[in-house]
Structure 1
Amino acid sequence: MKASDLLVRCLEAEGVERVFGLPGEELEDLLFSLRASDVEFIPVRHEQGAAFMADVHGRLTGAAGVCLATLGPGATNLITGVADAHLDKSPLVAITGQGGRERLHKESHQALDIVQMFEPVVKWNTQIAEAETVPESVRKAFKLAQYEKPGATHLEFPEDVAAEFVEAVPLPTRPRVHRSDPDQTSLNQAVDLIETAEAPLVLAGNGAVRTPAARRLRELVEHVGMPAVATYMGKGAVSDRLDVSLMTLDSGPDGEAVAAIAEADCVLAVGYDIAEHDPKSWNPDRDKRVIHVDHEPAEVYEHYNPDVELVADISATLRGLRKRLDIETASAWYQDLRERIVADVSREPEPDDPFTVKRTLPYLRAAMADEDVLISDVGSHKMAIARHFRTYEPNTCIISNGLASMGIAVPGGVAAALAIDTNVVVATGDGGFLMNAAEIETATRLGLGFTIIVFTDDDYGLISEKQVSHTGEQFGTELTNPDFQQFAESFGIEGYRPETWGDIESTLERVVSTDELSLVEIRLE
């Protein structure tokens, strides 16, 4: 068979159901091999959108999402989404075409060293230079992408290799590699730190929402009575309905979550990456006893230098801690903070209150079931969602935070609508929305239904907020926008522009639960 046929058979063996990408001349053999397979090829409107779709698919399912682009600009357009997956620990396999090897030793049309270009933003990448290496290359790409900590990998596939005939078969997949149980000495040291602490606290990071870790973490915090705060990417690891939840590191009208972690003398950091949230903000004096629970050792950082590192399977570690801990922490030190946080995020606006993202969130939360998924783009609205949107299940509030890339929301909605059976809502600002709004066409072509909320203020609001806080003025952030209601209707979908809080409540209640694709513009005041 052709090497392109073999590569597609390898994708089938990995369980890949769809590939997001753009066609290209150098991909011709691979595209026709996909047509003859059980793998669905989904043409999108921009390679960045393809990578974001693969990124969100990986975060929601745990299986590597696959994106495809041609050489040159196709490959460079992929890089932002691939880098996002890399820093957010999302399993992703990127495949790029390349010109024939006979012209790569010299300057030629659209030829760039793409393998070298991808090197800083992937766990592993290679050029498939020989057809016989296709099975090993594909198997390695998926194994490393999905192995904890997951991330992105990349395969470059020259067109002359794709056209070669080869006698080979896919390598069989194996069960995922599992980390060992924690060592008993470290486990006992961690237990001693928690039992002797006066105010122990859990910090739930990105790793806490992967695998069965969230269930084990909930069992632990309820058993011990320890309060828990989450990073933006750890939202939902501990349900915000539980009395121990203090939501995220920045929650509360007066920084109550910050106050709690400031008062804590022992922090159990579960699946925490310092790329998620600078530890200097919560351990400025480096005086907290820290227990690091993760699949990899802690990064070297003066404000995050753990007393104990439990480098093992996270779920097994949490189970081991729960079995050994037989204490119940006094709740008085954090319950007042919890009550103020809950009151703040639950307050519905008064009729004459101006439209803000924060005040919209109680209505959005009420319109969504616990298992529905919210995908946030990046901007000032992301900060409000991270701090104030109550999250009840792991992986139901998807936030780009490691790279914090604008433009992820609409492509992410496409991937989510394909990957899961629950309702999907994407929230974006006007800046991030227009970066990849063309993927609405992809969604309509596929017959997908989800809700797009666009918060508009004609500004790159988060940047202008920071400029004003630093200098008292802003520059270079102001925008103009089309009529978003008409923009939505031009794609053949319903567009809404509610004018009152009652309109917002009734509109969200109606559209979130439907199977239709719709857009709701909320004009911020």
Structure 2
Amino acid sequence: MKASDLLVACLEREGVEHVFGLPGEEMEDLLFSLRDSDVTFVPTRHEQGAAFMADVHGRLTGEAGVCLATLGPGATNLLTGVADAHLDKSPLVAITAQGSLERLHQESHQAIDVLNMFRPVTKWNTQLDSPDIIHESVRKAFKVAEYEKPGATHLELPEDVAAEETSMQPLPARSDTRFAAPNAEALNRVEALLSDAERPLIIAGNGAVRTRAAGPLQALVDVTDLPVVSTYMGKGAVPDDDPHSLMTLDSGAEGEAASAIAEADLVITVGYDIAEHDPADWGQGDAPLIHIDSEPAEVYEAYTPEVELVADIGRTLEVLADWCSAAKLGFDPDWYADLRASIVTDVQREPSGEAPFTLRDTLPLLREAMAPEDVLISDVGSHKMAIAQNFPTYKPNTCIISNGLASMGIAVPGGLAADLAVDANVVAATGDGGFLMNAAEIETATRLGAEYTIIVFNDDDYGLISEKQMNHTGEHFGTGLTNPDLPTFAESFGIDGYRPTTPEELKDAFDAAIGNGMSLIEVPVA
């Protein structure tokens, strides 16, 4: 078969259903191979949107999302979304076209060193410089991307190679790689530390959700009455309506979650990635630290574990839960009960006045309008901080926050990917800054018949930067914006647009929009 046909056959063997990307001259063979396959090619309006779609697909499913771009500017535009997947530990396979091999040794139209450009933001990448290596390279790209800790990989397909013939066939896709059980000596040390502790606390990170370890984590918490504080990307690892949940690291009007960490005499991190949240900001005292993860801890003076349990996260938690149960080891929840009660009271506030609303006060109404299994995709900005700290999350992978690279512009394309990946309702929450970065993907969404709700928190400003400048200097500069009439903008795409100005209108807009087709709600915020 032709090399491009082999590549697409390999994608089919990997179970790929959608490839997100932009067409390009140098990928002509690959595009027609996709046309004749069971894989759906989704033409997007910008390569960054395509990469964000693949990124969110990977986060939600655990299976690598695939994005596609041509050489030169196509590849450079793809880079931000690939980097986002890399730092968020989301499995993604990026494919970029390249000019013919015969012209890459010299200065050439649109030709840049894409391979080396992608290398720092991928786990592995290679050029497909022969049709006979495609079957192995595609299998490796998916295996490496999906293997814990997951991330991005990249394949470059030169134009002339794509058109060549090959007799190779796709390799079988296998996902039976398993991590070892926890080390017995390390477990003994952890058990000793737990036996001596009076106020242990768990910090649940991205890995607790990513590795589907929420069930074993819940079992451990139920047996021991340990409190759980989540990172922004660990939201939902333990439901926030569970009495053991202290929500996220920054939750509580008076920093109650941080207070709990400071009061703890033992801190256990589960699937924590330093890129999520700097441990120097935890406010941790002198309590010893236990690291439970699939990889050793990063070397950092603010994060020096007493014991590292490097193994399958879920199996490790199951072993600990069994031991704690047999040892009848439990802890008095009274030491953190008042802190939890204060956090719950804080997150249940509702809007007290008309628009412009505060970001914080709109979230109880949004939570009420969404079912526990509905998925919220948060963009980056002031609203991300409010959502991370104050939006209760009841199931894993139902509040998607980018907090590794933390790139603006992910919500609108991410909402499309989520709509394709899950059966639940999807809400994409964004600020006016992030919204207009990838608003053109609304056209992609309507073309595909997607049905999700976009909420734009509009303050005519890069609000988070203004806030930080004000805190540092008492003034702000370079952050002001002007925006189009957003409901009219939405209607130009053929979708419903809302602009509520009272709490009653806000509630009605959420209820009318969520789960009822494609729509946009502009929420004026101060």
The TM-score, its normalising length taken from structure 1, stands at: 0.99
| Cross-structure match for 1:71 | 71
Give the Cα separation in 1 of the matches to 2:427 and 2:498. 15
Deviation at 1:513, TM superposition (A): 2.5
Give the Cα separation in 1 of the matches to 2:428 and 2:273. 25
Give the Cα separation in 2 of the matches to 1:234 and 1:12. 32
Name which of 329, 332, 352 aligns with 1:330.
332
Q: 1:262 to 1:353 in 2, by over 3 A?
A: farther
Secondary structure at the residue paired with 1:434? helix
Secondary structure at the residue paired with 1:56? helix
| Cross-structure match for 1:489 | 491
| Cross-structure match for 2:387 | 385
CA contact (8 A) 2:356 2:524 kept: no
Secondary structure at the residue paired with 2:386? helix
Give the Cα separation in 2 of the matches to 1:260 and 1:316. 27
The amino acid of 2:371's aligned partner reads A
Deviation at 1:188, TM superposition (A): 1.6
CA contact (8 A) 1:147 1:176 kept: no
Give the Cα separation in 1 of the matches to 2:513 and 2:355. 23
Secondary structure at the residue paired with 1:222? helix
| Cross-structure match for 1:466 | 468
Give the Cα separation in 2 of the matches to 1:506 and 1:201. 40
The amino acid of 1:108's aligned partner reads S
| Cross-structure match for 1:340 | 342
Secondary structure at the residue paired with 1:422? coil
The amino acid of 1:517's aligned partner reads M
| Cross-structure match for 2:375 | 373
The amino acid of 1:461's aligned partner reads G
Give the Cα separation in 2 of the matches to 1:461 and 1:354. 14
Give the Cα separation in 2 of the matches to 1:266 and 1:166. 59
The amino acid of 1:446's aligned partner reads L
The amino acid of 1:222's aligned partner reads D
Deviation at 1:200, TM superposition (A): 0.2
| Cross-structure match for 1:168 | 168
- 1:157-198 Cα offsets, whole Å, 9 max, x none, are 001000001101001112331101101111121121122112
Structure 1 position 314 matched with structure 2 position 313:
yes
Secondary structure at the residue paired with 1:407? coil
Give the Cα separation in 2 of the matches to 1:138 and 1:98. 17
Structure 1 position 290 matched with structure 2 position 289:
yes
Give the Cα separation in 2 of the matches to 1:511 and 1:459. 25
CA contact (8 A) 2:98 2:159 kept: yes
Secondary structure at the residue paired with 1:90? coil
Secondary structure at the residue paired with 1:63? coil
Give the Cα separation in 2 of the matches to 1:170 and 1:163. 17
Give the Cα separation in 1 of the matches to 2:428 and 2:210. 21
The amino acid of 2:121's aligned partner reads V
- 1:402-426 Cα offsets, whole Å, 9 max, x none, are 0000000000001000111000001
Structure 1 position 41 matched with structure 2 position 71:
no
| Cross-structure match for 2:523 | 522
Secondary structure at the residue paired with 2:501? coil
CA contact (8 A) 2:44 2:441 kept: yes
Give the Cα separation in 1 of the matches to 2:173 and 2:519. 40
| Cross-structure match for 1:201 | 201
Please list, as runs of the form range in 1=range in 2, the aligned pairs for 1:25-424 lying within 5 A after superposition.
25-283=25-283, 287-325=286-324, 326-351=328-353, 355-424=357-426
Could you tell which deviates more after superposition, 346-355 or 413-422?
346-355
The amino acid of 1:372's aligned partner reads D
Q: 1:48 to 1:353 in 2, by over 3 A?
A: closer
The amino acid of 2:498's aligned partner reads Y
Identical counterparts, % of pairs? 68
- 1:385-416 Cα offsets, whole Å, 9 max, x none, are 00000000000000010000000000000100
Aligned positions, number: 523
Q: Which stretches of structure 1, 4 residues or longer, exceed 3 Å deviation after superposition?
A: 351-354
CA contact (8 A) 1:240 1:390 kept: yes
Question: Structure 2 regions of 5+ residues with no counterpart?
Answer: none
The amino acid of 2:107's aligned partner reads E
The amino acid of 2:418's aligned partner reads A
CA contact (8 A) 2:86 2:151 kept: yes
Give the Cα separation in 1 of the matches to 2:121 and 2:287. 32
Secondary structure at the residue paired with 1:71? coil
Deviation at 1:211, TM superposition (A): 3.0
Give the Cα separation in 1 of the matches to 2:67 and 2:475. 41
- 1:421-445 Cα offsets, whole Å, 9 max, x none, are 0000010000000000000000000
CA contact (8 A) 1:367 1:513 kept: no
Secondary structure at the residue paired with 2:466? helix
CA contact (8 A) 1:283 1:304 kept: no
Deviation at 1:351, TM superposition (A): 4.1
Give the Cα separation in 2 of the matches to 1:372 and 1:215. 19
Deviation at 1:349, TM superposition (A): 2.5
Please list, as runs of the form range in 1=range in 2, the aligned pairs for 1:434-473 lying within 5 A after superposition.
434-473=436-475
The amino acid of 1:135's aligned partner reads H
Question: Structure 1 regions of 5+ residues with no counterpart?
Answer: none
CA RMSD, aligned part only?
Answer: 0.9
- 1:80-119 Cα offsets, whole Å, 9 max, x none, are 0000000000000000000000000000000001000001
- 1:482-514 Cα offsets, whole Å, 9 max, x none, are 000110010010000011000001110121122
Secondary structure at the residue paired with 2:482? coil
| Cross-structure match for 2:480 | 478
Could you tell which deviates more after superposition, 79-88 or 193-202?
193-202
The amino acid of 1:57's aligned partner reads H
Give the Cα separation in 1 of the matches to 2:503 and 2:354. 9
The amino acid of 1:160's aligned partner reads D
Give the Cα separation in 2 of the matches to 1:247 and 1:331. 15
Secondary structure at the residue paired with 2:454? strand
Give the Cα separation in 2 of the matches to 1:175 and 1:469. 49
The TM-score, its normalising length taken from structure 2, stands at: 0.98
Give the Cα separation in 2 of the matches to 1:447 and 1:354. 32
Deviation at 1:293, TM superposition (A): 0.5
The amino acid of 2:201's aligned partner reads L
CA contact (8 A) 2:355 2:524 kept: no
Deviation at 1:352, TM superposition (A): 5.2
Deviation at 1:354, TM superposition (A): 5.1
Deviation at 1:350, TM superposition (A): 2.5
The amino acid of 2:348's aligned partner reads S
Deviation at 1:353, TM superposition (A): 8.0
Give the Cα separation in 1 of the matches to 2:30 and 2:299. 43
Give the Cα separation in 1 of the matches to 2:280 and 2:93. 33
CA contact (8 A) 1:87 1:151 kept: yes
The amino acid of 1:342's aligned partner reads V
Give the Cα separation in 1 of the matches to 2:475 and 2:259. 30
Give the Cα separation in 1 of the matches to 2:7 and 2:167. 12
